[in-house]
Amino acid sequence: MNFSDNVVENTFKFQDFFQSININNINKYTTDILNNIIKVDYSYLKKIGTILISLIPFIDNERKKVLTNKYESFYNYI
């Protein structure tokens, strides 16, 4: 499904996004994507998000701990 004619390489933008969250088996783009039919590995997202927070160069370690705790508590509700 093309959402715009301005996407470089047609569906590459969406394939790149899905691969970034460890979803590699999307072969076609239908309205199922918009209805959240995709099986998402939330533990993987939690892990990657925690790593990204730890890499933020412009905040101190104490702030990183606060952000990590808030981020992880969000995933405890899922």
pLDDT per residue as tens, the chain (78 positions) = 555 665 555 555 667 777 777 776 666 656 566 555 567 788 888 899 999 999 999 999 999 999 999 998 988 766
pLDDT at position 40, please?
74
Which residues, other chains included, contact 54 with Cβ-Cβ below 8 Å and sequence gap of 6+? 64, 68
Confidence at residue 33, expressed as pLDDT on a 0 to 100 scale: 60
Predicted local confidence at residue 25, as pLDDT: 65
Q: What is the pLDDT of residue 70?
A: 92
* Per-residue model confidence (pLDDT) at position 38: 65
